Amino acid sequence: MKYLVTGGAGFIGSNLVRHLLKTQPDAHVTNLDALTYAGKLANLSGVEEGERYRFVHGDICDPAAVRGAMDGVDLVMNLAAESHVDRSIMSDAPFVRTNVMGTQTLLAAALELGVSRFVQVSTDEVYGELPWFEPGDAAGLEHRFTERTPLAPRSPYSATKAAADHLALSYHMTHGLDVVVTRCSNNYGPYQFPEKLIPLMTTYALAGRRLPVYGDGLNVRDWIHVDDHCRGLLAAAARGDPGAVYNFGGDAERTNLSVVQTILTTLGKPADLVEYVTDRKGHDRRYAIDASWAKSELDWKPTVDFEDGLGATVRWYRDNELWWQGADA
């Protein structure tokens, strides 16, 4: 099987490339990445170019680069995206360009070249926000995102991802392109650029800096380890129904504050490093994924316990200081 992974030098993309090469001996992977600030070839250290893997430096908005990378490919997995909500609030144009126009360029090439399947990798943020419940409150289980939840994005980032999802599904309905859309809760694990919550707070704590927590810190997110997400993506690619949407979550709702406190405890740092700052504009109060459809239809489930996975992730950043030092977060 020949795969094209776009954004394969980013956080989830690089983990997916590694996972493919490790678990599928017959997989041939082309990685198309523009190497913007969050994409690093260092994320693929140890992955050697050769018969089963090649890297193509290119922009998914460039039709020629896309066709060159996609030619002869069986399956496209689109992970290339601008993904940081804060950056989308400051300037949304790059998000519209990459997330919408880039996805359209990929879809058009996939249709032209006869790609057998196109997996559009999206986010739970396209659903908007949920009523707030304390993590662990049984009532919260009745208020989670399902694949039937209407899309109601509330940030420029999530709006562009919702637009890309609609485009991808329209190519299935209009042109018959075999498209599968996946939507996932917050990922964590190694190689995540230190602008997102867990690596940002971990690297700040390691440097003895104050840890800025938005608002009261009680915004709730459902966390999934990137390895579990990669397994879900490959399950959707292999067994998903054409035109279907699958949600992946880790069954691990936590408040942002509790995650930060756990990081400090793991590193043996004082709790008073936490500094409450003005909340982000339009900050969604709660996300939570109901992944029961993916569990039943794809024979998938999350396997990494959040506390174990978080501890291992924090230790990875502690032990790989050269990787994150100097990053512009």
Catalytic annotation on 125? yes
pLDDT at 287: 97
Distance separating alpha carbons of residues 202 and 209, to the nearest angstrom? 10
pLDDT at 133: 96
The pLDDT of 45-62, averaged and rounded, is 94
The pLDDT of 57-73, averaged and rounded, is 98
Write down the domain spans for the chain.
2-187+226-249+283-303
pLDDT at 326: 62
Residues contacting 256, CB < 8 A, separation 6+: 197, 213, 214, 217, 218, 219, 220, 221
Pairing assessment for the beta strands 274-277 and 28-33 based on DSSP bridges: unpaired
Residue 275, pLDDT > 70, answer: yes
The pLDDT of 155-176, averaged and rounded, is 98
The pLDDT of 186-210, averaged and rounded, is 97
| Of the candidates 288, 280, 279, the residue with the CA atom closest to the CA atom of residue 252 | 288
pLDDT at 168: 98
Residue 57, pLDDT > 90, answer: yes
Q: Indicate which residue of 3, 53, 157, 171 is catalytic.
A: 157
Residue 328, pLDDT > 90, answer: no
pLDDT at 248: 98
Output the average pLDDT for the chain: 96
The 10s digit of each residue's pLDDT in 218-264 is: 999 999 999 999 999 999 999 999 999 999 999 999 999 999 999 99
Catalytic annotation on 307? no
Percent with pLDDT over 70 in the chain: 99
Residue 104, pLDDT > 80, answer: yes
Catalytic annotation on 157? yes
Distance separating alpha carbons of residues 8 and 15, to the nearest angstrom? 8
Q: Indicate which residue of 33, 59, 82, 125 is catalytic.
A: 125
In this structure, which topology does domain 2-187+226-249+283-303 adopt according to CATH? Answer: Rossmann fold (3.40.50)
pLDDT at 148: 98
- Number of residues in the chain: 329
**CA atoms in the 13 A half-sphere facing the CB of 195:** 16
Q: Indicate which residue of 33, 82, 124, 284 is catalytic.
A: 124
pTM for the full predicted model:
0.96
77 pLDDT band, cuts 50/70/90, is very high
pLDDT at 329: 45
